[in-house]
Structure 1
Protein backbone atom coordinates (compact mmCIF):
# COMPACT_ATOMS: atom_id res chain seq x y z
CA UNK A 1 0.00 0.00 0.00
CA UNK A 2 1.37 3.43 -0.90
CA UNK A 3 2.33 5.73 1.95
CA UNK A 4 0.48 8.95 2.56
CA UNK A 5 1.59 11.48 -0.05
CA UNK A 6 2.98 8.86 -2.44
CA UNK A 7 1.57 7.04 -5.44
CA UNK A 8 -0.29 8.29 -8.48
CA UNK A 9 -0.16 12.12 -8.23
CA UNK A 10 -3.68 12.40 -9.64
CA UNK A 11 -5.06 11.19 -6.33
CA UNK A 12 -2.87 13.08 -3.83
CA UNK A 13 -5.58 15.26 -2.33
CA UNK A 14 -3.38 16.97 0.22
CA UNK A 15 -1.49 18.76 -2.55
CA UNK A 16 -4.62 20.79 -3.36
CA UNK A 17 -5.79 23.57 -1.03
CA UNK A 18 -9.46 22.74 -1.63
CA UNK A 19 -9.03 18.99 -2.16
CA UNK A 20 -11.30 18.94 -5.24
CA UNK A 21 -10.65 17.87 -8.83
CA UNK A 22 -7.21 16.65 -7.86
CA UNK A 23 -4.45 17.95 -10.13
CA UNK A 24 -7.19 19.14 -12.50
CA UNK A 25 -7.59 15.56 -13.75
CA UNK A 26 -11.36 15.52 -14.35
CA UNK A 27 -13.40 17.26 -17.04
CA UNK A 28 -14.80 20.61 -15.85
CA UNK A 29 -16.94 22.84 -18.05
CA UNK A 30 -17.91 26.47 -17.51
CA UNK A 31 -20.55 28.24 -19.56
CA UNK A 32 -19.17 31.46 -21.07
CA UNK A 33 -22.14 32.26 -23.31
CA UNK A 34 -23.63 35.15 -21.33
CA UNK A 35 -20.26 36.76 -20.69
CA UNK A 36 -19.37 36.40 -24.38
CA UNK A 37 -22.53 38.14 -25.57
CA UNK A 38 -21.83 41.12 -23.31
CA UNK A 39 -18.17 41.22 -24.36
CA UNK A 40 -18.98 41.10 -28.08
CA UNK A 41 -21.46 43.96 -27.67
CA UNK A 42 -18.88 45.95 -25.71
CA UNK A 43 -16.23 45.45 -28.39
CA UNK A 44 -18.32 45.95 -31.52
CA UNK A 45 -21.27 48.27 -30.83
CA UNK A 46 -20.20 51.88 -31.36
CA UNK A 47 -16.96 50.86 -33.07
CA UNK A 48 -15.76 53.66 -35.38
CA UNK A 49 -13.99 52.96 -38.67
CA UNK A 50 -12.64 56.00 -40.50
CA UNK A 51 -9.92 57.61 -42.56
CA UNK A 52 -9.44 61.05 -44.15
CA UNK A 53 -12.33 60.50 -46.59
CA UNK A 54 -14.84 58.15 -44.92
CA UNK A 55 -16.54 57.73 -41.55
CA UNK A 56 -18.33 54.53 -40.50
CA UNK A 57 -19.78 53.11 -37.28
CA UNK A 58 -21.17 49.76 -36.16
CA UNK A 59 -24.42 50.95 -34.60
CA UNK A 60 -26.05 47.76 -33.36
CA UNK A 61 -25.70 44.00 -32.94
CA UNK A 62 -29.12 42.72 -33.93
CA UNK A 63 -28.36 39.01 -33.46
CA UNK A 64 -25.78 37.10 -31.42
CA UNK A 65 -26.41 33.45 -32.07
CA UNK A 66 -24.16 30.78 -30.57
CA UNK A 67 -22.43 29.64 -27.41
CA UNK A 68 -19.07 29.48 -25.66
CA UNK A 69 -17.62 27.18 -23.00
CA UNK A 70 -14.29 26.77 -21.23
CA UNK A 71 -13.19 23.26 -20.32
CA UNK A 72 -10.44 21.71 -18.25
CA UNK A 73 -9.33 18.19 -19.14
CA UNK A 74 -6.20 16.84 -17.43
CA UNK A 75 -5.06 20.39 -16.64
CA UNK A 76 -5.44 21.46 -20.27
CA UNK A 77 -7.71 24.35 -21.16
CA UNK A 78 -9.99 23.75 -24.12
CA UNK A 79 -12.23 26.53 -25.39
CA UNK A 80 -15.27 25.91 -27.57
CA UNK A 81 -17.05 28.89 -29.09
CA UNK A 82 -19.18 29.29 -32.17
CA UNK A 83 -20.95 32.52 -33.09
CA UNK A 84 -22.95 34.00 -35.93
CA UNK A 85 -23.16 37.77 -35.49
CA UNK A 86 -25.42 40.17 -37.36
CA UNK A 87 -25.64 43.90 -37.02
CA UNK A 88 -26.14 47.29 -38.60
CA UNK A 89 -23.78 50.05 -39.67
CA UNK A 90 -24.01 53.66 -40.76
CA UNK A 91 -21.48 55.74 -42.64
CA UNK A 92 -20.86 58.71 -44.88
CA UNK A 93 -18.36 60.66 -46.87
CA UNK A 94 -16.70 63.25 -44.63
CA UNK A 95 -17.18 65.79 -47.39
CA UNK A 96 -20.96 65.33 -47.31
CA UNK A 97 -23.89 65.11 -44.91
CA UNK A 98 -25.85 62.18 -46.32
CA UNK A 99 -25.73 59.09 -44.12
CA UNK A 100 -25.86 55.62 -45.58
CA UNK A 101 -26.93 52.49 -43.71
CA UNK A 102 -26.54 48.78 -44.12
CA UNK A 103 -25.95 45.47 -42.43
CA UNK A 104 -22.94 43.36 -41.53
CA UNK A 105 -22.66 39.64 -40.95
CA UNK A 106 -19.98 37.55 -39.22
CA UNK A 107 -20.89 33.92 -40.00
CA UNK A 108 -17.95 31.90 -38.71
CA UNK A 109 -16.46 33.12 -35.43
CA UNK A 110 -15.37 29.81 -33.88
CA UNK A 111 -12.39 27.97 -32.41
CA UNK A 112 -11.85 26.41 -35.83
CA UNK A 113 -10.73 29.74 -37.30
CA UNK A 114 -8.07 32.22 -36.30
CA UNK A 115 -9.40 35.76 -35.89
CA UNK A 116 -7.85 36.86 -39.20
CA UNK A 117 -9.69 34.00 -40.96
CA UNK A 118 -13.14 35.13 -39.80
CA UNK A 119 -15.36 36.45 -42.60
CA UNK A 120 -17.01 39.85 -42.32
CA UNK A 121 -19.69 40.68 -44.88
CA UNK A 122 -21.22 44.12 -45.55
CA UNK A 123 -24.37 45.03 -47.48
CA UNK A 124 -26.12 48.36 -48.25
CA UNK A 125 -29.75 49.24 -47.63
CA UNK A 126 -29.75 51.42 -50.75
CA UNK A 127 -28.05 50.95 -54.10
CA UNK A 128 -26.31 54.21 -55.01
CA UNK A 129 -22.77 54.95 -56.08
CA UNK A 130 -22.06 56.77 -52.84
CA UNK A 131 -23.50 54.06 -50.57
CA UNK A 132 -21.50 51.46 -52.48
CA UNK A 133 -18.28 53.45 -51.90
CA UNK A 134 -18.99 53.68 -48.17
CA UNK A 135 -19.79 49.96 -48.00
CA UNK A 136 -16.58 49.06 -49.85
CA UNK A 137 -14.57 51.28 -47.51
CA UNK A 138 -16.02 49.43 -44.53
CA UNK A 139 -15.34 46.05 -46.15
CA UNK A 140 -11.71 46.86 -46.97
CA UNK A 141 -10.69 48.75 -43.85
CA UNK A 142 -13.31 47.60 -41.39
CA UNK A 143 -12.83 43.87 -41.86
CA UNK A 144 -9.32 43.94 -40.42
CA UNK A 145 -10.29 46.22 -37.54
CA UNK A 146 -13.26 43.99 -36.67
CA UNK A 147 -11.00 40.94 -36.81
CA UNK A 148 -8.70 42.67 -34.32
CA UNK A 149 -11.67 43.18 -31.97
CA UNK A 150 -12.59 39.51 -32.32
CA UNK A 151 -8.99 38.56 -31.51
CA UNK A 152 -9.34 40.58 -28.30
CA UNK A 153 -12.58 38.74 -27.49
CA UNK A 154 -10.80 35.39 -27.88
CA UNK A 155 -7.87 36.53 -25.71
CA UNK A 156 -10.19 37.95 -23.02
CA UNK A 157 -12.28 34.76 -23.05
CA UNK A 158 -9.22 32.63 -22.36
CA UNK A 159 -7.95 34.96 -19.66
CA UNK A 160 -11.32 35.37 -17.93
CA UNK A 161 -12.35 31.71 -17.97
CA UNK A 162 -8.89 30.21 -17.63
CA UNK A 163 -8.68 31.54 -14.08
CA UNK A 164 -11.30 29.31 -12.53
CA UNK A 165 -10.95 26.18 -14.63
CA UNK A 166 -7.28 25.32 -14.02
CA UNK A 167 -7.29 25.21 -10.22
CA UNK A 168 -4.25 26.01 -8.03
CA UNK A 169 -1.84 23.32 -6.90
CA UNK A 170 -0.21 23.12 -3.49
CA UNK A 171 1.84 26.29 -4.02
CA UNK A 172 -1.38 28.25 -4.64
CA UNK A 173 -0.77 28.85 -8.35
CA UNK A 174 -1.64 26.90 -11.51
CA UNK A 175 1.23 25.11 -13.20
CA UNK A 176 2.52 27.85 -15.52
CA UNK A 177 3.84 25.43 -18.11
CA UNK A 178 0.54 23.54 -18.29
CA UNK A 179 -1.46 26.76 -18.41
CA UNK A 180 0.60 28.07 -21.32
CA UNK A 181 0.41 24.83 -23.25
CA UNK A 182 -3.30 24.51 -22.61
CA UNK A 183 -4.18 27.68 -24.52
CA UNK A 184 -3.28 26.18 -27.87
CA UNK A 185 -5.96 26.41 -30.53
CA UNK A 186 -9.04 24.36 -29.72
CA UNK A 187 -8.93 22.81 -33.15
CA UNK A 188 -5.73 21.00 -32.08
CA UNK A 189 -7.55 19.61 -29.06
CA UNK A 190 -10.46 18.51 -31.23
CA UNK A 191 -7.98 16.58 -33.35
CA UNK A 192 -6.27 14.99 -30.35
CA UNK A 193 -7.80 11.65 -31.30
CA UNK A 194 -5.81 11.54 -34.51
CA UNK A 195 -2.64 13.44 -33.61
CA UNK A 196 0.32 11.18 -33.05
CA UNK A 197 4.07 11.00 -33.36
CA UNK A 198 5.47 10.76 -36.89
CA UNK A 199 4.26 7.48 -38.29
CA UNK A 200 6.77 4.69 -38.46
CA UNK A 201 6.68 2.24 -41.31
CA UNK A 202 4.36 -0.63 -40.50
CA UNK A 203 3.86 -3.87 -42.32
CA UNK A 204 0.69 -5.88 -42.53
CA UNK A 205 1.10 -9.13 -40.62
CA UNK A 206 3.38 -7.77 -37.87
CA UNK A 207 2.07 -8.69 -34.40
CA UNK A 208 0.52 -5.68 -32.66
CA UNK A 209 0.09 -5.57 -28.89
CA UNK A 210 -3.38 -4.29 -28.06
CA UNK A 211 -5.58 -3.38 -25.12
CA UNK A 212 -9.28 -3.32 -24.34
CA UNK A 213 -10.91 0.04 -23.69
CA UNK A 214 -14.19 0.39 -21.79
CA UNK A 215 -16.22 3.35 -20.66
CA UNK A 216 -19.63 4.43 -19.40
CA UNK A 217 -21.11 7.81 -20.26
CA UNK A 218 -24.43 9.46 -19.41
CA UNK A 219 -26.49 11.64 -21.74
CA UNK A 220 -29.62 13.66 -20.99
CA UNK A 221 -31.68 12.36 -23.93
CA UNK A 222 -33.49 9.26 -25.12
CA UNK A 223 -31.58 6.24 -26.38
CA UNK A 224 -33.06 6.78 -29.83
CA UNK A 225 -31.87 10.40 -29.94
CA UNK A 226 -28.37 9.40 -28.89
CA UNK A 227 -28.32 6.62 -31.50
CA UNK A 228 -29.42 9.13 -34.16
CA UNK A 229 -26.61 11.51 -33.21
CA UNK A 230 -24.16 8.76 -34.21
CA UNK A 231 -25.91 7.59 -37.38
CA UNK A 232 -27.60 10.64 -38.91
CA UNK A 233 -25.15 12.24 -41.35
CA UNK A 234 -26.33 15.78 -40.59
CA UNK A 235 -25.97 15.30 -36.84
CA UNK A 236 -22.54 13.67 -37.19
CA UNK A 237 -21.39 16.58 -39.37
CA UNK A 238 -22.70 18.98 -36.74
CA UNK A 239 -20.71 17.59 -33.80
CA UNK A 240 -17.54 16.69 -35.75
CA UNK A 241 -17.49 20.00 -37.63
CA UNK A 242 -16.40 18.42 -40.91
CA UNK A 243 -17.43 16.33 -43.91
CA UNK A 244 -18.88 12.87 -43.26
CA UNK A 245 -19.34 9.84 -45.51
CA UNK A 246 -21.58 7.20 -44.02
CA UNK A 247 -23.62 4.21 -45.19
CA UNK A 248 -25.73 3.28 -42.17
CA UNK A 249 -26.28 -0.43 -42.84
CA UNK A 250 -24.54 -3.68 -42.02
CA UNK A 251 -21.32 -3.71 -44.00
CA UNK A 252 -21.68 0.00 -44.76
CA UNK A 253 -18.53 2.11 -44.65
CA UNK A 254 -17.97 5.41 -42.83
CA UNK A 255 -15.35 8.13 -42.90
CA UNK A 256 -15.29 11.21 -40.67
CA UNK A 257 -12.99 13.85 -39.20
CA UNK A 258 -11.46 14.47 -42.62
CA UNK A 259 -10.78 10.77 -43.20
CA UNK A 260 -8.86 10.31 -39.97
CA UNK A 261 -11.50 7.95 -38.54
CA UNK A 262 -12.77 5.20 -40.84
CA UNK A 263 -14.43 1.82 -40.60
CA UNK A 264 -17.62 -0.09 -41.25
CA UNK A 265 -20.82 -1.02 -39.46
CA UNK A 266 -20.92 -4.66 -38.32
CA UNK A 267 -24.26 -4.64 -36.50
CA UNK A 268 -27.00 -2.04 -35.99
CA UNK A 269 -29.95 -2.26 -33.59
CA UNK A 270 -31.54 1.23 -33.50
CA UNK A 271 -31.60 2.69 -30.00
CA UNK A 272 -30.04 -0.46 -28.54
CA UNK A 273 -26.67 -1.45 -29.96
CA UNK A 274 -24.03 -0.62 -32.55
CA UNK A 275 -20.92 -2.59 -33.53
CA UNK A 276 -18.20 -1.16 -35.78
CA UNK A 277 -14.83 -2.04 -37.23
CA UNK A 278 -13.03 1.20 -36.38
CA UNK A 279 -9.57 2.65 -36.92
CA UNK A 280 -7.61 5.89 -36.87
CA UNK A 281 -5.46 6.82 -39.84
CA UNK A 282 -2.28 6.95 -37.73
CA UNK A 283 -2.67 3.32 -36.60
CA UNK A 284 -0.60 0.52 -38.20
CA UNK A 285 -1.73 -0.26 -41.74
CA UNK A 286 -4.92 -2.32 -42.10
CA UNK A 287 -5.35 -2.66 -38.32
CA UNK A 288 -8.93 -2.27 -37.05
CA UNK A 289 -10.39 -2.36 -33.55
CA UNK A 290 -13.93 -3.52 -32.78
CA UNK A 291 -16.18 -0.96 -31.14
CA UNK A 292 -19.40 -1.98 -29.39
CA UNK A 293 -21.81 0.67 -28.15
CA UNK A 294 -24.69 -0.44 -25.91
CA UNK A 295 -27.49 2.04 -25.18
CA UNK A 296 -29.47 1.71 -21.95
CA UNK A 297 -32.28 4.18 -21.38
CA UNK A 298 -33.30 5.06 -17.84
CA UNK A 299 -35.58 7.72 -16.41
CA UNK A 300 -34.49 11.01 -18.00
CA UNK A 301 -31.09 9.76 -19.16
CA UNK A 302 -29.38 7.25 -21.42
CA UNK A 303 -26.28 5.35 -20.36
CA UNK A 304 -23.86 4.51 -23.13
CA UNK A 305 -21.44 1.61 -22.59
CA UNK A 306 -18.34 1.61 -24.79
CA UNK A 307 -16.28 -1.54 -25.32
CA UNK A 308 -13.38 -1.34 -27.75
CA UNK A 309 -11.04 -4.26 -28.34
CA UNK A 310 -7.86 -4.27 -30.38
CA UNK A 311 -6.60 -0.78 -29.50
CA UNK A 312 -2.81 -0.60 -30.09
CA UNK A 313 -0.91 -0.19 -26.82
CA UNK A 314 0.83 2.96 -28.03
CA UNK A 315 -2.50 4.56 -28.99
CA UNK A 316 -4.54 3.55 -25.93
CA UNK A 317 -4.47 6.79 -23.90
CA UNK A 318 -4.86 8.97 -26.98
CA UNK A 319 -7.83 6.93 -28.16
CA UNK A 320 -9.48 6.94 -24.72
CA UNK A 321 -9.18 10.71 -24.47
CA UNK A 322 -10.23 11.14 -28.08
CA UNK A 323 -13.59 9.47 -27.49
CA UNK A 324 -14.31 11.95 -24.70
CA UNK A 325 -13.13 15.09 -26.48
CA UNK A 326 -14.12 14.34 -30.08
CA UNK A 327 -17.32 12.39 -29.49
CA UNK A 328 -19.05 12.54 -26.12
CA UNK A 329 -18.39 16.12 -25.05
CA UNK A 330 -19.01 17.45 -28.54
CA UNK A 331 -22.33 15.57 -28.75
CA UNK A 332 -23.38 16.93 -25.36
CA UNK A 333 -22.40 20.46 -26.29
CA UNK A 334 -23.83 20.46 -29.81
CA UNK A 335 -27.20 18.90 -29.01
CA UNK A 336 -27.62 19.90 -25.36
CA UNK A 337 -27.41 16.33 -24.05
CA UNK A 338 -25.16 17.15 -21.09
CA UNK A 339 -25.33 19.29 -17.95
CA UNK A 340 -22.82 22.11 -17.59
CA UNK A 341 -20.71 22.52 -14.46
CA UNK A 342 -20.41 26.14 -13.34
Structure 2
Protein backbone atom coordinates (compact mmCIF):
# COMPACT_ATOMS: atom_id res chain seq x y z
CA UNK A 1 0.00 0.00 0.00
CA UNK A 2 2.77 2.32 0.99
CA UNK A 3 4.61 1.39 -2.21
CA UNK A 4 1.55 2.22 -4.28
CA UNK A 5 1.15 5.59 -2.55
CA UNK A 6 4.81 6.39 -3.12
CA UNK A 7 4.52 5.46 -6.80
CA UNK A 8 1.44 7.63 -7.14
CA UNK A 9 3.21 10.50 -5.42
CA UNK A 10 6.21 10.08 -7.71
CA UNK A 11 3.98 10.09 -10.78
CA UNK A 12 2.20 13.20 -9.56
CA UNK A 13 5.52 14.88 -8.81
CA UNK A 14 6.69 13.96 -12.30
CA UNK A 15 3.66 15.54 -13.84
CA UNK A 16 4.00 18.58 -11.61
CA UNK A 17 7.66 18.75 -12.53
CA UNK A 18 6.90 18.63 -16.23
CA UNK A 19 4.22 21.27 -15.82
CA UNK A 20 6.46 23.39 -13.59
CA UNK A 21 9.37 23.03 -16.01
CA UNK A 22 7.21 24.10 -18.95
CA UNK A 23 5.80 27.05 -17.02
CA UNK A 24 9.27 28.11 -15.85
CA UNK A 25 10.57 28.06 -19.45
CA UNK A 26 7.81 30.45 -20.54
CA UNK A 27 8.40 32.76 -17.61
CA UNK A 28 12.13 32.54 -18.07
CA UNK A 29 11.84 33.59 -21.72
CA UNK A 30 9.81 36.66 -20.78
CA UNK A 31 12.25 37.61 -18.02
CA UNK A 32 15.33 37.15 -20.17
CA UNK A 33 13.95 39.12 -23.17
CA UNK A 34 15.52 42.58 -23.47
CA UNK A 35 12.95 45.40 -23.02
CA UNK A 36 12.24 47.57 -26.04
CA UNK A 37 13.96 50.98 -25.93
CA UNK A 38 11.67 53.82 -24.96
CA UNK A 39 12.10 57.03 -27.02
CA UNK A 40 13.06 60.01 -24.90
CA UNK A 41 12.57 63.61 -25.93
CA UNK A 42 15.73 65.70 -25.69
CA UNK A 43 15.07 68.57 -23.33
CA UNK A 44 17.09 71.83 -23.23
CA UNK A 45 18.24 70.89 -19.72
CA UNK A 46 19.72 67.68 -21.09
CA UNK A 47 21.80 69.65 -23.59
CA UNK A 48 22.96 72.18 -20.98
CA UNK A 49 24.31 69.35 -18.82
CA UNK A 50 26.50 68.08 -21.67
CA UNK A 51 30.22 68.96 -21.70
CA UNK A 52 31.17 72.00 -23.75
CA UNK A 53 31.88 70.52 -27.16
CA UNK A 54 31.50 72.09 -30.56
CA UNK A 55 29.59 69.86 -32.93
CA UNK A 56 27.65 70.25 -36.15
CA UNK A 57 24.31 68.80 -37.14
CA UNK A 58 21.34 67.91 -34.98
CA UNK A 59 21.37 67.68 -31.19
CA UNK A 60 20.80 63.92 -31.38
CA UNK A 61 23.90 63.52 -33.55
CA UNK A 62 26.54 64.68 -31.05
CA UNK A 63 28.95 62.04 -32.32
CA UNK A 64 29.09 63.87 -35.67
CA UNK A 65 28.21 60.80 -37.73
CA UNK A 66 26.57 60.99 -41.17
CA UNK A 67 23.59 63.33 -41.39
CA UNK A 68 22.06 64.80 -44.55
CA UNK A 69 19.66 67.74 -44.69
CA UNK A 70 17.51 68.58 -47.72
CA UNK A 71 17.72 72.28 -48.67
CA UNK A 72 15.67 72.18 -51.87
CA UNK A 73 12.90 74.52 -50.72
CA UNK A 74 15.27 77.19 -49.45
CA UNK A 75 17.62 76.91 -52.45
CA UNK A 76 14.88 77.11 -55.08
CA UNK A 77 13.25 80.13 -53.45
CA UNK A 78 16.57 81.90 -52.94
CA UNK A 79 17.79 81.40 -56.51
CA UNK A 80 14.53 82.86 -57.84
CA UNK A 81 14.77 85.85 -55.50
CA UNK A 82 18.32 86.62 -56.55
CA UNK A 83 17.71 86.37 -60.28
CA UNK A 84 14.57 88.51 -60.49
CA UNK A 85 16.37 91.30 -58.60
CA UNK A 86 19.33 91.28 -60.97
CA UNK A 87 18.19 94.44 -62.74
CA UNK A 88 18.51 95.33 -66.40
CA UNK A 89 21.47 94.72 -68.67
CA UNK A 90 22.27 97.56 -71.06
CA UNK A 91 23.41 97.01 -74.63
CA UNK A 92 24.63 99.34 -77.34
CA UNK A 93 21.19 99.33 -78.96
CA UNK A 94 18.85 98.67 -76.03
CA UNK A 95 18.39 96.90 -72.70
CA UNK A 96 16.69 93.84 -71.22
CA UNK A 97 15.86 92.27 -67.86
CA UNK A 98 14.72 88.94 -66.44
CA UNK A 99 10.95 89.02 -66.23
CA UNK A 100 10.37 85.56 -64.76
CA UNK A 101 12.15 82.38 -63.71
CA UNK A 102 10.03 79.82 -65.55
CA UNK A 103 12.00 76.77 -64.41
CA UNK A 104 14.24 76.34 -61.40
CA UNK A 105 14.70 72.65 -60.65
CA UNK A 106 17.35 70.65 -58.88
CA UNK A 107 18.63 69.52 -55.51
CA UNK A 108 20.56 71.21 -52.73
CA UNK A 109 21.81 69.56 -49.56
CA UNK A 110 23.93 69.89 -46.45
CA UNK A 111 25.86 66.85 -45.24
CA UNK A 112 27.48 66.54 -41.81
CA UNK A 113 30.04 63.74 -41.64
CA UNK A 114 32.72 63.26 -39.02
CA UNK A 115 31.70 66.59 -37.53
CA UNK A 116 32.48 68.42 -40.79
CA UNK A 117 29.94 70.29 -42.88
CA UNK A 118 29.69 69.95 -46.66
CA UNK A 119 27.16 71.54 -49.01
CA UNK A 120 26.31 70.92 -52.63
CA UNK A 121 23.70 71.44 -55.30
CA UNK A 122 22.80 70.66 -58.91
CA UNK A 123 20.31 72.91 -60.72
CA UNK A 124 19.05 73.99 -64.11
CA UNK A 125 17.18 77.17 -65.07
CA UNK A 126 14.89 78.64 -67.70
CA UNK A 127 14.40 82.41 -67.75
CA UNK A 128 11.95 84.68 -69.56
CA UNK A 129 13.56 87.93 -70.68
CA UNK A 130 11.89 91.08 -71.90
CA UNK A 131 13.77 93.90 -73.54
CA UNK A 132 13.81 96.70 -76.05
CA UNK A 133 16.08 96.95 -79.07
CA UNK A 134 16.50 99.46 -81.82
CA UNK A 135 15.43 97.74 -85.02
CA UNK A 136 14.96 99.51 -88.33
CA UNK A 137 15.37 102.94 -86.79
CA UNK A 138 12.74 102.44 -84.06
CA UNK A 139 12.60 100.79 -80.64
CA UNK A 140 10.98 97.37 -80.65
CA UNK A 141 10.02 95.38 -77.57
CA UNK A 142 11.09 91.75 -77.66
CA UNK A 143 10.51 88.65 -75.56
CA UNK A 144 13.38 86.20 -75.30
CA UNK A 145 14.42 83.12 -73.37
CA UNK A 146 17.61 82.10 -71.62
CA UNK A 147 18.21 78.47 -70.67
CA UNK A 148 20.93 77.58 -68.18
CA UNK A 149 21.88 73.89 -68.52
CA UNK A 150 22.74 71.82 -65.46
CA UNK A 151 25.29 73.46 -63.19
CA UNK A 152 26.73 72.34 -59.85
CA UNK A 153 28.52 73.60 -56.77
CA UNK A 154 32.02 74.89 -57.51
CA UNK A 155 31.55 74.79 -61.29
CA UNK A 156 30.24 78.29 -62.04
CA UNK A 157 33.40 79.22 -63.94
CA UNK A 158 32.12 76.84 -66.63
CA UNK A 159 28.57 78.21 -66.59
CA UNK A 160 26.91 78.33 -70.01
CA UNK A 161 23.68 79.84 -71.29
CA UNK A 162 21.54 79.23 -74.36
CA UNK A 163 19.50 82.12 -75.78
CA UNK A 164 16.62 82.29 -78.25
CA UNK A 165 14.05 84.79 -79.49
CA UNK A 166 10.31 84.34 -78.98
CA UNK A 167 9.43 86.80 -81.73
CA UNK A 168 11.40 86.54 -84.93
CA UNK A 169 8.88 87.86 -87.42
CA UNK A 170 9.86 91.03 -89.23
CA UNK A 171 13.30 90.98 -87.55
CA UNK A 172 16.14 91.14 -90.08
CA UNK A 173 18.75 88.41 -89.76
CA UNK A 174 21.50 90.83 -88.83
CA UNK A 175 19.37 92.17 -85.96
CA UNK A 176 18.64 88.64 -84.76
CA UNK A 177 22.37 87.96 -84.59
CA UNK A 178 22.91 91.20 -82.68
CA UNK A 179 20.12 90.52 -80.18
CA UNK A 180 21.36 86.99 -79.49
CA UNK A 181 24.85 88.38 -78.95
CA UNK A 182 23.44 90.98 -76.54
CA UNK A 183 21.55 88.33 -74.56
CA UNK A 184 24.77 86.43 -73.96
CA UNK A 185 25.90 89.41 -71.88
CA UNK A 186 23.58 88.07 -69.18
CA UNK A 187 26.14 85.33 -68.49
CA UNK A 188 28.36 87.37 -66.17
CA UNK A 189 25.62 88.90 -63.95
CA UNK A 190 23.97 85.48 -63.77
CA UNK A 191 27.23 83.95 -62.61
CA UNK A 192 27.64 86.66 -59.96
CA UNK A 193 24.16 86.03 -58.55
CA UNK A 194 24.75 82.29 -58.43
CA UNK A 195 28.09 82.82 -56.71
CA UNK A 196 26.22 84.82 -54.07
CA UNK A 197 23.83 81.90 -53.72
CA UNK A 198 26.77 79.52 -53.19
CA UNK A 199 28.20 81.71 -50.43
CA UNK A 200 24.85 81.82 -48.65
CA UNK A 201 24.51 78.06 -49.03
CA UNK A 202 27.84 77.57 -47.26
CA UNK A 203 26.48 79.45 -44.23
CA UNK A 204 23.39 77.29 -43.84
TM range (shorter): 0.5 to 0.7
| TM-score, structure 1 normalization | 0.39
Mark the CA change 1:56 to 1:31 in structure 2 (over 3 Å): closer, same or farther: same
Question: How much does 1:25 deviate?
Answer: 2.0
1:14 aligns with 2:87: no
Question: How much does 1:142 deviate?
Answer: 1.2
Q: 1:57 maps to which residue?
A: 97
Matches of 1:14 and 1:85 in 2, distance apart? 46
Which of 128, 145, 150 pairs up with 1:103? 145
What pairs with 1:81-92 in structure 2 (closer than 5 Å)?
81-92=121-132
Deviation readout 1:259-288 (Å, 9 max, x if unpaired)? xxxxxxxxxxxxxxxxxxxxxxxxxxxxxx
Q: 1:260 maps to which residue?
A: none
What pairs with 1:145-184 in structure 2 (closer than 5 Å)?
145-159=189-203, 161=204
Please say if residues 105 and 125 of structure 2, whose CA atoms lie closer than 8 Å, have aligned partners that are also in contact. yes
Instruction: Output the aligned Cα RMSD.
Output: 2.3
Off by >6 Å, runs of 4+ in structure 1: none
Q: Secondary structure at the match of 2:160?
A: coil
1:136 aligns with 2:181: yes
More helix as a share of residues: 2
Deviation readout 1:217-246 (Å, 9 max, x if unpaired)? xxxxxxxxxxxxxxxxxxxxxxxxxxxxxx
Matches of 1:80 and 1:118 in 2, distance apart? 16
Q: What count of residue pairs does the alignment treat as equivalent?
A: 145
Q: 1:28 maps to which residue?
A: 67
Matches of 1:16 and 1:76 in 2, distance apart? 14
Q: 1:76 maps to which residue?
A: 116
1:44 aligns with 2:92: no
Matches of 2:93 and 2:167 in 1, distance apart? 20
Q: 1:191 maps to which residue?
A: none
| TM-score, structure 2 normalization | 0.63
Q: Secondary structure at the match of 1:14?
A: coil
Question: How much does 1:118 deviate?
Answer: 1.5
Q: 1:166 maps to which residue?
A: none
Matches of 1:29 and 1:42 in 2, distance apart? 25
What pairs with 1:1-342 in structure 2 (closer than 5 Å)?
14-16=51-53, 20-22=60-62, 25-47=64-86, 48-93=88-133, 96-111=138-153, 113-127=154-168, 128=171, 129=173, 130-139=175-184, 141-159=185-203, 161=204
Bigger radius of gyration among the two: 2
